[in-house]
Structure 1
Amino acid sequence: MKITDVKTWVVGNPPPQAGGRYFIFVRLTTDGGVKGYGEAYSATFGPHLTAKMIEDVAERYLVGTDPHYIENFFRRAYSSGFSQRPDISMMGCVSALEMACWDIVGKEADKPVYKLLGGQVHERLRTYTYLYPQTGSVYPNEADNADRNVYNDPDLAAECALAYVDQGFNAVKLDPAGPYTAFDGHQPRLVDIDLSARMVKAIREAVGTRADILFGTHGQFTASGARRMARAIEPYDPLWFEEPVPPDMPEVMAEVARATSIPIATGERLTTKWEFARIIEQRAASILQPDLGRSGGILETKKIAAMAEAYHIQVAPHCYCGPIVGAANIQLAATLPNFLILESIRTWDGFHGDLLTRKIDWEDGWVIPSKEPGLGVELNEAVAEAHPWNGDALHLAMEPRPLFP
């Protein structure tokens, strides 16, 4: 069996764009006609350029080879161009192609991928969702702060959280901590600390002990600033404080971890076992959040999770992208003894459901792993073709100016 063809799509995500502005999908096809799908979580360059990069990597290291040789593919791509170091753009390409290989391997074996990774530990997977605004942009930095929304109004946040809990979720996430810029980390403003505390308090009072609260940030603080923020929200017992400082210095994040009782979570901007090893070595976080569209793929993230397991660190796969990464996360999470919780884009309904021939099975706050072979889902190519992305914005962006210019 050999891979003979590669095709990519850049799919525009219709409003309200839950999960991002666009999704980057890839399909690999074998000489026997078996198709495997993957997805990249990549925002460094424009998505059409990223799609071309995926095609380039596939042509160099996959076309003409057996998709079972995943370790071989990873090492060749990781070393591409005499690099041999974590490269977030290369790993976005590798991750998409690697999960497509696993999809093929599972289909050839007529088994779900989780059965090829040590077997199923969890029959169902606990999930959480963001508090998505009911109107307006899903991006906090782009929201009109003059308008009331779930990022700046405690009453609306509590109402939204309670609605999700009534729907079945027992964990919800929000990012109320203020702007994040290309010049972070910064000291949080007193107004941001105050608002964050009031938001978390309102949600806790609304949901009681029915749900965990996940406090998201985007690496925007200094260690001292993150400690101040943690102290303000600590009375409401969040399950985690996510990425409190920028991801480039785990030693600094470790300062925050030592100063608060709130578990620190991090990982969506990290790639490969080598970057996650630094988090583990520094005891910078007790919850890792690899995103399989960027971390290096399914096998690489299985290794990351095994490293974490040895240090009693839990894994909560990140997913602010499309349903193929979501499906890969599910396959891996089902096998992990140290799995904590899975990011869900609401209940995998809406456009995420439309993009699949059969939507991800979500029931009363839990995902039920598919028993179908491969990743357990199939991209609806007609829907992907009908929604091309033609914009020039990146998937995610930081404010280009300092907080205090």
Structure 2
Amino acid sequence: MDKIARLETFIVAPRWLFVRIETDDGAVGWGEASLEGHAEAVAGAMEAARDRITGLPAGRIEDIWQLLYRMGFYRGGPVLMSALSGIDQALWDLKGRRLGVPVADLLGGRVRDRLRVYAWIGGDRPGDVAEAAAARREQGFDAVKMNGTEDMDWLDSPAAVDAAVERLETVRATGIDVGIDFHGRVHRPMARQLVHALAPHRPLFVEEVLLSEQPEAIAQITQGTGVPIALGERLYSRWDFRRFFELGAIDIAQPDLSHAGGISECRRIAAMAETYDVAFAPHCPLGPLALAACLQVSAVSPNFVIQEISLGIHYNQADADLLTYVSNPEVLAVTQGSVAALDGPGLGIDIDEARVREAAASPHRWRNPVWRGRDGSLREW
């Protein structure tokens, strides 16, 4: 018997939501449904999912995915898709553990043995970036990402552009590759001139150059620059990505495996991106289960280029970092800018269940900051 008997969620520091699925014969799988700032909403969505999947065969992953996506009448969006993502990851983990193989083997087998990774520097308001980049090199990274700007007005001072260029120059001078994240906080009147000013300093990519509600404007920027444009953390399915691929709006697809339908859907998004000659670099400023899921899909995706990793990211707390809840942290060791493909069963990491349950007894209430300009108007975070 392998019918789903129990679905549990755990809201744990710093800002994550873990999912545990157990079958009637005692098999267990873990996933991550973290939706930053909205953990309670996702936990609520799990109630309907629990009613629908309890008693179903855990091995029928695609059937359960379709059921949860299609049979609630309302579909898509960050909350419902994050809940589905965590369940999907847990079911793949459970199946891999039952069979004694990594998820990558169930997806066709890996096409690489190591995966390039990058870490964050600089925080929400980037500062001390050269020192931070040097520290990341000591940790084994050869690429980093940082916010390109602080909060920015619709039409801002040229000094704000100069400051962004200076930060990029400073980090590039350390010899490390640098991705620049606009974080959706830049609007069209500033975005083109920022990309134009940064281009001579050769960022690895520019991420979320505009909010994803603006596919046509993003396409114009992409087609007017040689800088690779990345986007995808606020797209939640292959249908959301389709418009961007058709427009030639992005060079690098960045679905988040905890927001965009889990392993099942993001494998499809990666394959869809490949047909448009678009690279695949999963978004993941989240926890270890989300990262492990990313690494399993990336290992089998020919168009994978680089993986975000949240070790020491500014969102994490002193008492809860990427490896806090992991019993085998050595499998995520960074060496010469990359990590080894995970070859343990399931997702390839082991969760310290006792520590998770202890942490969930005091659930986080993480919220992103609210920023306002000098005139009191809201700014994008």
TM-score normalised to structure 1 length = 0.86
The 1:12/1:76 distance shift into structure 2, 3 A limit, reads same
Classify 1:201/1:361 alpha carbon distance in 2 versus 1 (closer, same or farther; 3 Å): same
Match of 2:109 in 1: 119
Is this contact kept in 1: 2:312–2:321, CA < 8 A?
A: no
Identity within the alignment, %: 32
Distance change in 2, residues 1:27/1:179 (3 Å): same
How far has the Cα of 1:179 moved from its partner? 0.9
Q: Distance in 2 between matches of 1:74 and 1:401?
A: 43
Whether the 8 Å contact between 2:21 and 2:28 is mirrored in structure 1 is yes
Partner residue, 1:334: 299
Q: Go from structure 1 to structure 2 and tell me whether the alpha carbon gap of 1:401 and 1:5 turns closer, same or farther (over 3 Å shift).
A: farther
Matched, 1:199 2:167: yes
Once residues 65 and 375 of structure 2 are traced to their aligned partners in structure 1, the CA distance between those partners, rounded to angstroms, is 39
- Which of 148, 161, 174 matches 1:176? 148
Residue of structure 2 aligned with 1:48, choices 30, 37, 40: 40
> How far did 1:332 drift?
0.6
1:101-140 mapped onto 2 (5 Å cutoff): 101-132=91-122, 138-140=123-125
Q: Superposed, which structure 2 residues align to 1:296-375 within 5 Å?
A: 296-346=261-311, 351-359=321-329, 360-364=331-335, 365-375=337-347
Aligned residue among 26, 37, 48 for 1:33 = 26
Tell me the equivalent position of 2:89.
Answer: 99
Q: Which letter does structure 2 place at the counterpart of 1:206? A: T
User: Partner of 2:58 in structure 1?
Assistant: 67
CA deviation after TM superposition for structure 1 residue 276, in Å? 0.9
* Alpha-carbon contact 2:139-2:334 (below 8 Å) kept: no
Bigger Cα displacement from structure 2, 51-60 vs 256-265: 51-60
- In 2 relative to 1, CA 187–71 (structure 1 residues): closer, same or farther, beyond 3 Å? farther
Q: Partner letter of residue 332 of structure 2? A: D
The change in CA–CA distance for 1:390 and 1:117 in structure 2 (over 3 A counts) is: closer
2:74 pairs with 1:83: yes
* 1:363 alignment partner, SS class: coil
Q: How many residue pairs get matched?
A: 368
- Cα-Cα RMSD: 2.1
8 Å contact 1:41–1:291 — kept in the other structure? no
Unmatched runs of 5 consecutive residues or more in structure 1: 14-21, 133-137, 141-150
**1:303, 1:220 → 2: CA distance?**
29
Partner of 1:246: 211
Per the alignment, residue 273 of structure 1 pairs with 238
Unaligned stretches of 5+ residues in structure 2: none
With the length of structure 2 as denominator, give the TM-score of the two structures.
0.91
Q: Distance in 1 between matches of 2:134 and 2:326?
A: 29
Q: Deviations over 1:296-343 (max 9, x none)?
A: 110111110111101111011111111100110011110010000011
Tell me the secondary structure at the aligned position of residue 11 of structure 2: strand
Cα distance in 2 for residues equivalent to 1:165 and 1:277: 37
Equivalent residues of 1:4, 1:64 under 8 A apart: yes
Provide the rounded CA distance (Å) in 2 between the counterparts of 1:330 and 1:252: 31
| CA shift in 2, pair 1:222/1:351, >3 Å | closer
Partner deviation per Cα, 1:36-82 (whole Å, 9 max, x = no partner): 0011131363x23422322431322x211112222222222222432
> Against the structure 1 CA distance between its residues 401 and 89, is the aligned structure 2 distance closer, same or farther, given a 3 Å change threshold?
farther
Aligned with 1:163: secondary structure? helix
- Give the direction of change, closer, same or farther, for the CA distance of 1:271–1:292 in structure 2 (3 Å limit): same
Residue 53 of structure 1 contacts residue 93 of structure 1 at CA under 8 Å; is this kept in 2? yes
Q: Which amino acid aligns with 1:380?
A: D
Q: What does the per-residue CA deviation read over 1:89-117, in whole Å, with 9 as the maximum and x for residues that have no partner?
A: 10000000000000111112211000010
Deviation at 1:282, TM superposition (A): 1.1
In 2, are the aligned partners of 1:176 and 1:195 still within 8 Å (CA)? no
Q: Which residue, out of 164, 186, 197, partners 1:232?
A: 197
Q: For residues 226 and 374 of structure 2, what CA distance do their matches in structure 1 show? A: 30
On the 8 A contact 1:158/1:206 being kept in 2, the answer is: yes
| Structure 2 residue 359 is matched with structure 1 residue 387 | yes
| Counterpart contact for 1:227–1:256, Cα < 8 Å | yes
